[in-house]
Structure 1
Amino acid sequence: MVAKKFAVQVSLLIIVNLIVKLVWIFFIERKIQLLVGFENYGLYYSIFNFTLILGFINDPGLTNYLIRFLASKNENSFQIANLFSLKILLSISYLLLTLLFSFISGYSNFQLIFILIGYQILWSFLIYLRGFLKGYQFLNAEVFFSILDKFLLIITLVPLFYLNKNINWTINLYALSQLIAVLISIILCYWILIRHKINLFFNISFKLNFSVLKPLMPFAIFAFLVLAYNKIDVVLLQKLLPNGSLATGNYAAAYRFLDASNMLPILFASLFYPVVSKNIIEKKHIGNFIKPGLSFLIAISLIVCFGSWFYRENLMSLFYGAKSSKELANIFGFLMFSAPLIVIYYVYSTVLTANNNLKILNIISAIGLVFNILLNIILIPNYGALGTAITSFFTFLLIGLTEIYFYYRYFKQQNHLKIWLKVLLFGFLLMLLGNFVSYLNIAWIMEFSAFVVIAIIIALVLKLFDYKVLKGILNVNG
């Protein structure tokens, strides 16, 4: 009964986050970019990702350590106080180092930099406070605080966007509103903890015990490397071109859709990890469990990427109006081909993490980061943001194929050859389908709808969609 309740809570947490994030991406971020302009948003996007990459300094896994510590029913107040003291020291280190690297990197909008550094520090503290909610199993409160900051901004900004035309929106004002929303969330979260008689400020000691950081370092390095090869491209794009902020704005406008499409594999990985971990520990066969989820997610992502490619100009015009361009459409269309590769990454990295192959994952990620930087340096000067989209595709291809190789190496008898043959056939049929429906000579939205419906039918015929995936995802006990 407890496990079932946990499964429902986790599912609710992810679904609520899914809905709020979709609203955030398409009704807040998109609207802000249109209001402040692509160039200003591009500068914000570059600095935001720059401060995000360095976030591993701010929290190298302390929150996860805290959750495990509390879940063990250990009431050692000194240890909790030591963690909080470490948290303060790490945040100060993050502040100073990020300011230093910002100066070295040549960023000149110091007001925006200060706001975004402050946002990252406050966000990290909010995650830390939510660690107490998770550790003490206050799951309803965790669901609430997982969306509160964005929900506050949605209910505040949407009316202002459409009812008050007199506000002079700037990117600094937008960043400041994010910081304030997180600060309000922190205050309310701390108030909830106090009501439950949980005080994290007691017995603060500056005789710090750094030994807790040692076992966290492999995970911190992995988190940093993954974040770096995902986000370093926009920093390079903004720095390597004369019109870097505008190019980054175009890339951000296109990447928004890839970000939205990633939410389904993220949901899957979140629920999949505890199941596969348990099965590996119990030495059970995991191949048949992976298959339905893999085929389902790959099929969805292929429909998304081919649909995006064939209707790239129409979709960009629909969402960005006069700000759309052929260049933006091509960036978007090519970028979306990374969607199936990201599915592969989430599925196989989850399995390898559960199998405790963190050293291999760190090596793969380090190679991916170096490859990403070098290819960006080569392609960005010649192809701009399109070069970054191409780099993203090949980086995920390299990492995905390498992770598949190591999966087969560690799980020799659990291959998915049949699925990959179906996937190749499905991709070929989608390419033919996209070219065929373009000859129907009807409104593009009707063509697009026909493409999606027929693609789903083909996936069902090929048995890439399997009802077992839903059962497997929701059955957290495996």
Structure 2
Amino acid sequence: MAQYKRELIINVTFLILANLLIKPYYIFFVERKIQNQVGTAAWGAYFTLFSLSMLPQIILDLGLTSYINQRLSGHRDQLHMIWKDTAWVKPILALIFAVIFLLICYVGGYFLTYRTWILWITLNQVLISVILFLRAYISGLGHYRLDSAFSVADKFLFILLFSLWAWTGTITSIDTFLWIQTVSLGVPLILGTAWLLMRTGISFKRLDFGQTLNILKQSLPFAGIFVLMVLYCRMEPVWIGWLRPDGAYQAGIYAAGYRLLDAANMMGFLFAGILLPMFSHTISLGDKKEYQSVFDLSWNLMISLSVLICFPIINHHTFIMAQLYTDSYPGILPILMICLIPLTINYLLSTILTAAGRVVMMNYFFLISIGVSVVGHMLLTPTMGAGGAAIVLLITQVVTSFLLSYLVEKEKLITLTGGVHLLILVKAITLGLLSGWLVSLLIDHPVLSLITHMVALLLALAWFNVLPWQALIRLIFKK
């Protein structure tokens, strides 16, 4: 039983260390520096276009990645058949995505002004999709640690290229940022393809259109997950642009705060990538005790990490924003960072539902979340701008957490009754609030206060058994 839990801990440990070294540097030094150099309005325009590309991005995948991960994890002997039926679909989907995204930008009035940016974004989205496609095979085959390495490879390469470029000049345009991103995505794509071809012996055979069409039909519900989540999670900049006369500027303000949430939220995304094949494999074996155990451990870890990240940032949000940006707008950061907790819960619950094949029902619940988001934006964003959009995001994520919890319990996948999981959540939030209050009373220096808050909160989470450190140590060092 400890096999999956140990593999989970090892991979999560690697992810945390890698992300602590790479992602914060990328977010706080690279992206933040570029935004300061190009200006809030220019970055806001880019951020709006990028968010707009997330909607037709579903065409790039059509649920294939989740389908492959779930199917291959439970039926690894079908590798060659699954590859044969899916490999040639990517170029076709990429072409369709490009046409649709370009049309959206043209109809929306963006293309003539931002043509070069739009073309770069199109290419980069295709590269990201192919990398995720390859990672689905890598993790589906059980190579979780290699998948974890690929999850940070593009950011690591981007930092190297950015550093080399910074020695010779300053990045004063979004164009330079985008072509560096293209190169940093291209290298892991080539390496991932080469590894998969050499390690598994798969090859590019003639397309069986009928079977491929059947695979696409089976994967469409998974595609629905992505498009619906984008609609209620990632469309705030688009709503701001539509509902505010100063849309680009307000989107830039939102992007400045959202950048920290996005960096922190990657932990949940990467967690889900590790858990999906594990859940799929144990569910296919009918071992409920095993995946309940993995779920319980994941709940404690993910809640602990989300609280450990969000509350120190919330408690020091004014100082952090002033250090990061020349134009500092700290007001929305606490609202956005508290979203990390329901977002983390939603990642975990949606992963177990996806692994169990309860995709269609989950999509119905996501439609409710979209309705909440639309109504919220219509009411708050026109008058409150970026702040209103942040409030809408928080409300939507909390509602989604309740909906997914109900569905998981209704489908009898995971036992949430008894209040154990809720107690862990309440304890973690309480410790986050109390530790921040005590540290603010005792320490005035912002840097020392921030570090002390994180250390004190980590110790408190371990002391009150929210973070099961003794179990983690046993699992890591168990032979």
Query: What TM-score, normalized to structure 1?
Result: 0.84
| 1:117-173 deviation per Cα after TM superposition (whole angstroms, max 9, x unaligned) | 121123323444555656777778756654443333211112322x334x4520122
| Aligned with residue 164 of structure 1, among 165, 168, 179 | 168
Name the stretch that deviates more: 340-349 or 442-451.
Answer: 442-451
Q: Deviations over 1:310-350 (max 9, x none)?
A: 21101111222x322xxx21111111111111122122222
Question: Residue by residue, what CA displacement relative to the aligned partner does 1:245-273 show, whole Å, maximum 9, x if unpaired?
Answer: 22212211211211222233334433444
Of 239-248 and 123-132, the range deviating more from structure 2? 123-132
Aligned pair count reads 466
**Residue 250 of structure 2: aligned partner:** 247
Greater mean alpha carbon deviation, residues 428-437 or residues 348-357: 428-437
Aligned twin of 2:225: 222
CA distance in 1, matches of 2:318, 2:76: 50
**Residues 266, 346 of structure 1: 8 Å contact kept:** yes
User: Which residues in structure 2 correspond to 1:40-439 (within 5 Å)?
Assistant: 40-63=42-65, 68=71, 71-73=76-78, 75=80, 80=83, 83-107=86-110, 108-130=113-135, 145-161=150-166, 163-165=167-169, 167=170, 169-190=172-193, 200-203=203-206, 209-277=212-280, 280=283, 281-284=286-289, 289-320=294-325, 322-324=326-328, 328-411=329-412, 414-421=416-423, 423-424=425-426, 426-428=428-430, 430-439=432-441
Question: Which secondary structure state, in structure 2, belongs to the residue aligned with residue 439 of structure 1?
Answer: helix
How far apart in 1 are the matches of 2:348 and 2:426? 18
Shift of 1:376: 1.5
**1:385, CA displacement in angstroms?**
0.7
Once the two structures are TM-superposed, the CA of residue 448 in structure 1 deviates from its matched residue by 2.9
Quick check: 1:37 aligned with 2:39?
yes
Cα distance in 2 between the residues matched to 1:408 and 1:191: 42
Contact 1:376 1:391 in 2 (8 A): yes
Shift of residue 72 of structure 1? 2.2
Contact 1:84 1:200 in 2 (8 A): no
Q: Which amino acid aligns with 1:254?
A: G
Aligned equivalents of 1:315 and 1:226: distance in 2?
A: 29
Equivalent AA in structure 1 for residue 387 of structure 2? L
> More deviation in 339-348 or 462-471?
462-471
Shift of 1:11: 5.5
Note the C-alpha offset of 1:426: 5.0
**Residue segments in structure 1 that go unaligned for 5+ positions in a row:** none
Alignment RMSD, CA only? 3.5
Task: Find the counterpart in structure 2 of residue 451 from structure 1.
Answer: 453
- 1:27 maps to 29
1:36 is matched by which residue type in structure 2? V
Q: Structure 1 residues 103 and 475 mapped into 2: Cα distance closer, same or farther (>3 Å)?
A: farther
Say whether the 8 Å CA contact 1:286–1:414 is kept in structure 2. no
Q: Contact 1:337–1:393 at 8 Å: present in 2 too?
A: yes
Contact 1:272-1:473 at 8 Å conserved across structures: no
C-alpha separation in 1, matches of 2:171 and 2:68: 43
CA distance in structure 1 between the aligned counterparts of 2:142 and 2:419, rounded to whole angstroms = 41
Note the alpha carbon deviations across 1:391-424, whole angstroms, 9 max, x for none.
Answer: 1110110001112222333348642514424543
More displaced 10-residue stretch of structure 1: 349-358 or 420-429: 420-429
Which deviates more from structure 2 when the two are superposed, residues 122-131 or residues 25-34? 122-131
When Rg is computed on C-alpha atoms for both structures, the one with the higher figure is: 1
Question: For the Cα contact (< 8 Å) 2:228–2:366, is it kept in 1?
Answer: yes
Identical counterparts, % of pairs: 25
Letter in 1 for 2:403: T
Q: CA deviation at 1:15?
A: 5.1
Task: Give the conservation status (yes or no) of the 8 Å contact 2:435–2:453.
Answer: yes
Q: 1:59 to 1:17 in 2, by over 3 A?
A: farther
Question: 1:379 touches 1:387 (CA, 8 Å); kept in 2?
Answer: yes
Q: Give the AA of the match of 2:213.
A: F
- Structure 2 residue identity aligned to 1:232: M
Aligned CA distance change for structure 1 residues 276 and 42 (closer, same or farther; 3 Å):
same
CA shift at 1:469, angstroms? 5.9
Paired letter, 1:346 = Y
Matched, 1:442 2:444: yes
Q: Deviations over 1:340-364 (max 9, x none)?
A: 1112212222233333322221112
